[in-house]
Copies of this chain bind each other. A is one copy, B any other.
Amino acid sequence: MTRHQEVHQTDASELANALRFLAADSVEKAKSGHPGMPLGMADLATVLFTKHLKFDVKNPEWPDRDRFILSNGHGSMLQYSLLHLLGYEGATIKELQRFRQLHARTAGHPELGYLPGIETTTGPLGQGLGNSVGFALGERMMNADFGDDLVDHRTWVFCGDGCLMEGVGQEAISLAGHLKLSKLTLVFDDNRTTIDGATSVATSENHAARFAAANWRVLHADGHDHDDINEAMTEAKTSDQPTVIIARTRIGFGAPTKEGKSIVHGSPLGPDELAGLRKNLNWPHEPFVIPEPIKNKWRSAGVAGATERLAWQDRLKGISPATREKFERRISGKFPPTLEAEVKAAIKSAVATPTAAPIRKGSLAATAVLQNSMPELVGGSADLTGSVLTKPDNMQLVVPGEYAGRHVGYGIREHVMAATMNGLALHGGFFPYGGTYLTFSDYCRPSIRMAAIMNIRVVFLFSHDSIGVGEDGPTHQPIEQLASLRAIPNLRVYRPADGVEALECWLDAALHSGPSAMVVARQAVEPVRRVERPDMPSRRGGYVLQEAREKRDLTLIATGSEVDLAIRTAALLEKSNINAAIVSLPCWETFDVQDQSYRDAVLGTGPRYAIEAALPMGWGRYVGSEENVFGVPSFGMSGPGPQVYAEMGLIPETIAESILNRLGAKQSVTA
């Protein structure tokens, strides 16, 4: 080692130690948190943020910045320490001192929107790694649209063993390798320690070989040697494959008795250990005190990217106004002005030529309409393109190495499909949707939850939405999935009843800032919307589709494929002189926030019954009791769809008879 390198190394160690002590002291003060990872990854973070990451703290939303993702989100204090030292607005010492306290911007795990510089919410392992596929893919797809001058940045991810053990992490590795996302670099904190002890208690994976099998470039580094780290990161930037840097580290680096041990993962060090850490790392400073020279070096690193950003701004000014407008609209997430009109035109045409069709087909038509004015629309499927109907004819495939297409073949990897969609949305410039069968929404549920927590605009498209699936049987017939999705806070769950409602629901999802699940039937149904309604009533969540012929005796509420069933049931009831209004309720979440008088008028004052080929759970809020729901309380069965419907009592005759009996019973009671 030359004298120069030695000095350099010493300086950099001090920078890293500043991160270490801010993290350890904050955890100590909070009496809660995870010091082990920040102590272990501080050197890696220092080299990345001072030498490689392209960013500018004064412009944290600069579209061409590199993205940094902390997939091992429990190490949040590493990120908060970085944000503070680099000078991000709001990442004050005071906030660090409020780590993990109510309403602090320094939550237990990094939360999107709490502080600038946090690109995604992490914590549940594997999610950040999954997102990173979307970030890196988004960069390539924007680059395909706008060229190197405007889009040329990298995605850097930190992760630990947990992210690699999780299935979603494995799916991410496989997909990123396939898609040749060469600007994705994963820094693996190879500390060989998990909560339960040495990683060897639960895994024998040869990580290098595993990544190589998925077509990743594999590099190794001593995670505490800054030169070694720097060399690996430099090399990663030249790779034509995604790159993993397997960085050998010591968890809890520097802690006198806890370094390298599980115990340092998730609890404060305690005063003695922390004092020992200070001694070991030659850090005499009080908690939360960072010497000026060190602080200044970090602050310089925070603005070092300004030159590059200004050059980028110049390039942006240099392009044609039309391109610039396109680029800026895409990045801003604003809607194309033509969108609503195009959807209305499509509705007009659909109403004019009503034909029985699978609702999934209506959904396909809707995405085709959206695609016309939304180049940001990115479809995709977990190997069910022609079955879920995710790809409009003129939507091109995304191909490894070429990213001008708009439909991603995620393979049979539902979980990372959802996580990638989240990453695409977070990257900016895209409105992603991706499809699988509703029953397999369970496979992507953890990522759906993350979209809901982050409130990002993605559409999870789920077809084959009921026992109507038929012959494939219980494993493929969703029963509880509608209720389970509706249970996720902040997720809009749409279940359109025909092609017109599909258009309205898709428009609503596109204009909504948060995530949606679009649930569509496989089987053909009669169109239920046969007259034009300029108010696009699905956008209110629920509406009177068909008023009772005379005074309303009761209200039949249904969603999706069961709206047609409700109409046919009403026709039977009419023969017994019972006048039923039909309410279509494609989106509970939207309906629930309409004003009371609207909701009351829609639902009516008489008896109400719901028809939905799913678990009745949750319907009580509209029909008083789950007993007033014609649903499916148990798992399904294998057989032709219409027969399964009949077996479950979901045919007009059975429902009408049951309603008449109940009305009779009620009348006799009240009489």
Contacts and interface: CB of A to CB of B under 8 A. Distances in A.
Contact of A30 (B165, B166, B471): B471
Interface stretch (A270-278, A478-486, A596-604): A478-486
Contacts of A479: 489
A471 to B, nearest CB: 4
Given A209-B213, A480-B487, A486-B617, A411 B165 contact: yes
A412 B475 contact: no
Contacts of A168: 167
A634 B235 CA distance: 45
B471 A453 contact: no
B483 A617 contact: yes
Contacts of A400: 204
Contacts of A170: 167, 170-171, 174
B472 A109 contact: yes
B617 A165 contact: no
Contacts of A175: 202
Contact of A639 (B103, B212, B484): B103
19 contacts: A100-B471, A108-B473, A111-B473, A166-B412, A167-B167, A167-B443, A196-B381, A196-B383, A196-B385, A204-B400, A206-B214, A212-B213, A442-B446, A443-B446, A453-B474, A480-B487, A480-B488, A620-B620, A620-B621
Size band of the interface chain A makes with B: 35 or more
Most buried by B among A101, A194, A617, A647: A617
Interface in A324-381: 381
A124 B471 contact: no
B196 A386 contact: yes
B177 A171 contact: no
A50 interface: no
5 A-B pairs with least C-beta separation: A167-B167, A202-B411, A102-B639, A620-B620, A170-B170
Given A167-B169, A201-B397, 19 more contacts: A32-B470, A100-B638, A102-B639, A108-B472, A108-B476, A121-B474, A121-B475, A124-B439, A124-B443, A165-B411, A166-B167, A166-B171, A175-B202, A194-B383, A196-B381, A196-B386, A213-B213, A453-B475, A483-B487
Contact of A178 (B124, B202, B215, B475): B202
A429 to B, nearest CB: 23
A476 B122 CA distance: 10
A33 B471 contact: yes
Contacts of A473: 100, 107-109, 111, 123
A389 interface: no
Contacts of A104: 638-639
A450 interface: yes
A577 interface: no
